Amino acid sequence: MTEVTDPLDQQVWNFVYAYDAAYGRAAQAVGLSAAQACLLEHLTGGGRSMGELAVELLCDASNVTQLVSRLEARGLVARVPDPADRRVKRVSITAAGHRVSHAVRRAFDFPSERLGRLTEHERRQLSELLAKALAPG
């Protein structure tokens, strides 16, 4: 039986495969799992509650509890009860967490090695194509 796959679909698959592999290697080089690096990345834009993290990471709250606990044990994030509603825990990245997060970015060579091959014009083209594909609706 022959599997008929659209050539572009296959290319996108390969692209995502390479991207994911590169990100996993970058996280591993710094001693993190991809899930841990991803959570840390989400905190670089500012603190989040546990529930917000669960929504952003598309996973269950109980999973966030464990991920945060492991990162907290390594001093990369801190959990602080929200004064306004003491059920809520605000998670923030520590200075050490920032250093590790930056190290992941430096080790993540996909953007520079792959996207860096494109000219400015090509990058703008790609940006417009991705925007159209991802647009809501």
Partner DNA sequence: TATTGTTATACTCTATAACTATA
Partner DNA sequence: TATAGTTATAGAGTATAACAATA
Binding site for DNA (CB under 7 A): 33, 35-36, 49-52, 54, 57-70, 79, 85-89
Q: Provide DSSP, 11-28.
A: HHHHHHHHHHHHHHHHHH
Using CB under 8 A as the binding rule, whether residue 125 contacts a copy of itself is answered as yes
Give the span between the Cα atoms of 15 and 39, in whole angstroms: 23
Q: Which range, of 47-55, 66-74, 76-84, 116-124, touches a copy of itself by CB under 8 A?
A: 116-124
Could you give the count of Cα atoms lying within 13 Å of 120 in the half-sphere of its Cβ? 0
Q: 74-102 burial by CB neighbour count: b if 16+ within 10 A, else e? A: eebbbeeeeeeeeeebbbebbeebeebbe
Using CB under 8 A as the binding rule, whether residue 33 contacts a copy of itself is answered as no
* In the complex, least distance from residue 115 CB atom to a copy of itself, rounded to whole angstroms: 6
Using CB under 8 A as the binding rule, whether residue 126 contacts a copy of itself is answered as yes
Contact 92, 43 (CB under 8 A): yes
Task: Name the binder of 117 from DNA, a copy of itself, none, CB < 5-8 A by kind.
Answer: a copy of itself
Task: Name the binder of 35 from DNA, a copy of itself, none, CB < 5-8 A by kind.
Answer: DNA
Helix (H, G, I), strand (E, B) or coil at 107: helix
* In the complex, least distance from residue 109 CB atom to DNA, rounded to whole angstroms: 19
Q: Which is nearer to DNA, 61 or 129 (CB)?
A: 61
| From 18, 55, 80, 96, residue interacting with a copy of itself (rule: CB under 8 A) | 18
**Partner residues linked to 89 by β-bridges:** 81
